[in-house]
Amino acid sequence: MADVITADGPATHEAAIPLRQRAASLAGLTDIPATESCGQEVLFPRLSEYLETVTALRDAGFEMCVDLCAVDYLRHHGRPLPTGVEPERFEIVVNLLAITDVRRVRIRVQVPEGDCVVPTIFDLYPGTENMEREAFDLFGISFDHHPDLTRILMPEDWEGHPLRKDYSVGRIPVQFKEAPGPR
Amino acid sequence: MSDDRRATVPPTNPSDPFGQIGEELVAETDEGPQELQDRGDTSAAKLAIEEGSFLRLPEGLVLDPGDIDVEFGEDETMIINMGPQHPSTHGVLRIMLELEGETVLRSKPVVGYLHTGMEKTAEQLTYVQGATNVTRMDYLAPLHNELVWSLAVEALIGTEVPQRATWIRMLMTELNRMSSHVMWMATNGMDLASTSMMIYGFREREMILSFFEKTTGLRMNHDYIRPGGVAADLPDGWEDDVMSIVDTIPSRMDDYDEMLTGQPIFKLRTEGVGIIGPDLAIAMAATGPILRASGVPWDLRRSMPYLAYDEVDFDVIVGTVGDTYDRYAVRLNEIRESCKIVRQCVERMPLGDYRVQDKKVTPPPRARIDESMEALIHHFKIFTRGFEVPEGEVYTAVESPRGELGCYLVSDGANKPYRMHFRAPSFVNLQTLPPLLRGGLIADAIAIISSVDPVMGEVDR
C-alpha cells in the first residue's frame, strides 16, 4: 500500500540554485524583466505576454500552479518595480512550482484599472479554477474564457469587491446589542 | 430555480403581511449561478468541470480522467443538495449533486458560508496582532497558520530566529499535525459508521490539546508562534508530557490498525473508491495527503525544508493507487512519522532563547519592564503600534496537515500588511471533488468528502 521514501532521498534546496540559471533562462524568457525578492525569483511579463510566459514556464517543467491571487495597489502606487514595468492599479500574482526540479517562480502581471480583464490560465492549469474565481469575487478582475466565473466566497448578489482598497471596512453596521457605533 | 423558491416562501411574519422580509431574505441568500444548474442551462465547459473532466490536451480535446462512462437517461436525473448543514460535510460545505438513482453524475461544491473576510481584516491589524487573526483560519492546525505567517514576516524583516525557537516551532507543529490527523481519523471513522473511532480519536487529540493548553494557555487559536520566535518557553517538565504523548500514540495507532486498516467493512467502503491519479492531482494543484496518496513523493518538509526539517530523520509516506484507502493509510502513517520527529525534537532541543532579542520585534522580558523605563516603552510600542516591516513581498509555504499552506505577504513599509493572502490547501483541494465523486454512489461520496479533509474555516477564510 503505502510506500516509503527513505531519508536518503534527494534533498535539494532552492537557495542553492543561482538566479540566472533559474526559471526565466530555462524557459527562454530572458527578455522579461525579473527581480529577486527574499531569494525568490519574480518575473514581470506584460499583460499581453502573460499567457505565453505561463505556457513557456509550464513547458519548462513547472507542473503545478500553486497559487493565484490579486493585489490592489491603489494606495501603494510607487512600489519598487524593475525598469520597463509600468505600475498599474492591480496585479495578478501567480506562484508556480516545479515538482521534479524542486523550484518555484512567481509571476506578477500589471492589470490596468480601466480594463481589468486577464486571460484565464485554466486551460494550462485547471487547478486555478477556484483561485481565479476568488480573485474575480474579491477584486472584480475578469478572467477571459474562464468556464465558470461566478462569485465563490461572497453571495451572488453582493455589491462591490471587498478586497479592493476603496472598499471601506465597517460600512455594514454590525448588530451587537450595546455597540455604540462603528469602531 | 430561484423564482420557484421565491414563490413558495409564505408570508409567515404577522408584522409583514406582504412577505417582503421573506422575499428580501431569499434574495439576499440566493446564489443563483453559483449553484449547479440543469444540464440545459449549463455551458459545455462548465459541464466538463462538474463532471470532473479537467485534463485537457493541447488541441482542446477533453480527456476524461477515469474514463468513467455512466449510462443515464436524460429525464431521470435529479439535482440534490448536500449540506451546508450535513454532518458529513465537516462544517458548512455544500455540495450539489446530480444523481441518477444513487449514482453521482455531476457535482459542485458551493462554499463561502463561513467567509468572514480574514484577508481584509489582516490589513487592519498590525504584524503583532496578525498571528491572532490567521490562527483562526485552519482551526484544526492553528500552529501551522501561525508558523507560515511568522515565516513570511521574518523573511521580510530578515530576522533569524534562535535555534531553540526553531525547534520549539517544529515540536509544536508536529504535535499539531498529529492532533489534526487524529481528529481526521475520528471524523472519518464517524462518516464510515465507526462510532468508536470517533471517541478514540477525540481521546488522543485531548492528550495533545492538554499539552497545548499547558504551553500556550489555549487549546486552539494559540497565537503562540509569533514573528521573532514563540510567545513563551516550554513549561517545566514538558519532556515528560511530550514523551508520554509519543509513547502512547503509536500503541493507539496499532489499535486503529486492528480496528480499521484490516477490517473488511472498512476496506470495502474505501478501497478503489475515489481514485485520483498523479497527473490529475498535480493539474488540480492538490497537495498534502491527496497528492502523496496518488504516488507523488512531494512533502515540503523534505523537498523544500524549512525550520530544521533537513536535520531530522523521517520518511515521506506515499501511496500507490490514490484511492480513499491510500489517503487513510498516508495520514495514519504520517502520525507515526510525526511521532519520530517529535522524539528527535525532545532529544535534540537546544538551549537558549525562545525568541529573538530584538527590541523592535519582540517585547522585552517581563522582569525588565519593572526596572527599565526603556523596556517599558518598547513593550508599550510593540503592543500598541507594532513594528514596521520593510517594503517588499514574499511567498512562504509550509506543509500543513492538509497540504501546502502558503502566505503571500506584501508590505508597503508600514506596521500593517498591505496585502495578505493565504493559499489555503483545503480551498484548492476541494476542486478535486467533482472528478473524485463522478460515477460513485452517494455512500461513497461521504467517504470521499471525508478523505479530502476540508476545513471550512480555511476554505472560506
Angle at A86 between CA A82 and CA A88, to 5 degrees: 120
**Cα gap B439→B52, rounded to integer Å:** 10
Interchain CB distance below 8 Å, B28 and A155: yes
A148 and B318: CB-CB below 8 Å?
A: no
Amino acid at B56: R
Q: Which domain covers residue A51, as residue numbers?
A: 14-144
Taking the CA of residue A57 and the nearest CA in chain B, the distance in Å comes to 14
B435, A96 Cβ separation under 8 angstroms? no
More confident residue, B45 or A60: A60
pLDDT digits 0-9 by tens, B218-262: 988 898 999 988 988 899 989 999 999 999 999 988 888 888 888
For residue A183, being part of any structural domain is answered with no
Structural domain contains residue A28: yes
Domain of residue A85, CATH code: 3.30.460.80
DSSP A110-172: EE-STT-EEE--TTT-GGGHHHHHHHHHHH--EEET-TT---SSS-TT--S-TTSTTS-TT-S
Grid cell in block for residue B414: 508600514
- By the 8 A CB rule, do B239 and B417 touch? no
Q: Which of A69, A155, A163 is the closest to B120 by Cβ? A: A163
CA distance A117 to A135: 12
Contacts of A169 in chain B (CB under 8 A): 120, 124
Chain A: residue whose CA lies nearest to B112:
A153
B407: Cα within 13 Å, side-chain hemisphere: 29
For A64-78, write each residue's pLDDT tens digit: 999 999 999 988 888
So what's the pLDDT on residue B290? 92
DSSP symbols for B197-254: HHHHHHHHHHHHHHHHHHHHS-SSS---EETTEESSPPPTTHHHHHHHHHHHHHHHHH
pLDDT tens-place string over residues B89-124: 777 888 888 888 888 888 888 888 888 889 998 998
CA nearest B42 in A: which residue?
A: A148
d(CA B8, CA B1): 11
Asked if residue A158 is part of any domain, the answer here is no
According to DSSP, the β-strands at A103-111 and A40-43 are parallel
Residue A173 lies inside a defined structural domain of this protein: no
Question: Cβ of B392 and A129 within 8 Å?
Answer: no
pLDDT of amino acid B428: 92
pLDDT at B69: 54
Chain B nearest-CA residue for A41: B394
The segments of chain B whose pLDDT lies below 70 read: 1-32, 53-75
How long, in residues, is chain A?
183
Q: Which of A40, A99, A147 sits opposite B298 (nearest CB)?
A: A99
- Indicate the residue of B283, B305, B318 with minimum beta-carbon distance to A5: B318
Are the Cβ atoms of B112 and A153 closer than 8 angstroms?
yes
User: CA of B262, closest CA in chain A: separation in Å?
Assistant: 12
Q: Note whether B461 contacts A153, CB cutoff 8 Å.
A: yes
Residue A9 has pLDDT above 80, yes or no: no
Contact A72, A90 (CB under 8 A): yes
**Residue A120: inside a domain, yes or no?**
yes
* Tens digits of residue pLDDT in A83-113: 888 888 899 999 999 988 888 899 999 999 8
- What's the number of domains chain A is made of? 1
pLDDT of amino acid B225: 92
Cα A22 to Cα A26, A27, A103, A107: the distances in Å are 6, 9, 8, 13
Which chain B residue has its CA at the smallest distance from A73's CA?
B418
Minimum CA–CA partner of B287 in chain A? A66
What domains are there in chain B, each with its CATH number?
Answer: 1-30 (no CATH), 126-436 (1.10.645.10)
Task: Report the candidate in A166, A14, A174 with the shortest Cα–Cα distance to residue A97.
Answer: A14
**pTM for the predicted model, two decimal places:** 0.84
CB atoms within 10 A of CB B295: 16
User: CB-hemisphere CA count at 13 Å for B112?
Assistant: 20
Residues ≥6 apart with Cβ < 8 Å to A49: A32
| Probe site for chain A from B115, B154, B159 (most A CB atoms < 10 A) | B115
- The answer to whether position A124 is within a domain reads yes
Bridge pairing between strands B94-100 and B103-110: antiparallel
Q: Report ipTM (2 d.p.).
A: 0.82
Residues of B in contact with A100 (CB under 8 A): none
Domain assignment present for residue A170? The answer is no
Across the range A131-137, mean pLDDT stands at 91
Distance of residue A172 Cα from the nearest chain B Cα, in angstroms? 13
A58 and A66 in contact (C-beta within 8 Å)? no
Q: Residues B435, B273: contact at Cβ < 8 Å? A: no
Q: Is residue A61 part of a domain?
A: yes
Size (chain B), residues: 461
